[in-house]
Chain A
């Protein structure tokens, strides 16, 4: 499985993502700088966490309009599996590839800890190695992870199985405790927690590893 990690100025989980992809897939991803307008064909695109462009204007707003994103949006719309973690999730909502927006945490605190979340959709290409309803522990580290969408959008996300993960307790004010969502086609997933930081016991746990093995199951 050939993957790409998109690197923005201010990304800080790009190398963690590259290490996770290398360890689980056995292949090093290509690192693509935000100013590139094209990159080699890959099976999988990851948008990493961080504070791209210093979170100026809105988290992910600048990155979503950076040159490389035109190509990422095109490929995601053509069905290439695209995965955004934390700031990557914010970028995906800012591009419109995923609905809703991520706002300042309701309690205004930066939340940095391991959280419990439940797997709401265990059939997607990103989550098929989990069991439906399985509870897993994954770290979060964000100031703006308060997921917001209007009621119709939330009902549609829940009704159509596009909520991938929910926190088991409220940590940031997110509507319906949503931690991660899928697009309608199921090939784009955004989530605030960091599965790439939970891929081996030395990191404190392995609950994140199944995200990557799920993708391997589908892509080989």
Chain B
């Protein structure tokens, strides 16, 4: 089973890299971008076949390592 994890900065947390992307896009004459936020994408290949167990385990991985919940949110997709 594959787990796809998105880690994003919480709203309200300044994202300087997102801001730089926003400026670069605007300098390249791409209009209409109100805001850019940068995050991380992590893909895990899991041995677990039980969906509920996989979800619980990946959630724990996110809380303990993959995301810093002081500043980041995470979302998990299983496939």
- Size of interface on B: residues with Cβ below 8 Å to A: 12
- Complex interface bits, A83-107 against B, C-beta within 8 A gives 1, otherwise 0: 0000000000110000111011111
Q: How large is the interface on A (under 10, 10 to 19, 20 to 34, 35 or more residues)?
A: 10 to 19
What residues of B have a CB within 8 angstroms of the CB of A146 in the complex? Answer: 14, 16
B13 contacts which chain A residues (CB < 8 A)? 103, 148
Interface contact A148-B71, CB-CB below 8 Å: yes
Most interface-central of B13, B40, B71 (chain A CB within 10 A): B71
Q: Does any Cβ of B come within 8 Å of A108's Cβ?
A: yes
Q: Which residues of B contact A75 (CB under 8 A)?
A: none
Q: Which residues of B contact A107 (CB under 8 A)?
A: 16
Q: 0/1 per residue, A106-122, Cβ < 8 Å to B?
A: 11100000000000000
| Binary contact readout B34-55 vs A (1 if CB under 8 angstroms, 0 otherwise) | 0000001000000000000000
Q: Which residues of B contact A100 (CB under 8 A)?
A: 70
Consensus secondary structure, chain A interface? loop
Contacts of A57 in B (CB 8 A): 40, 65-66
Indicate which residue in B14, B20, B65 contacts A61 across the interface (CB closer than 8 Å).
Answer: B65
Please pick, from B20, B64, B66, B71, the residue contacting A108 in the complex, using a CB distance under 8 A.
Answer: B20
Interface centre among B13, B64, B65, B68 (most CB of A within 10 A): B68
C-alpha spacing A2/B26, complex, angstroms: 56
Complex CA gap A105/B14 in Å reads 10
Q: Is B57 an interface residue (CB 8 A)?
A: no
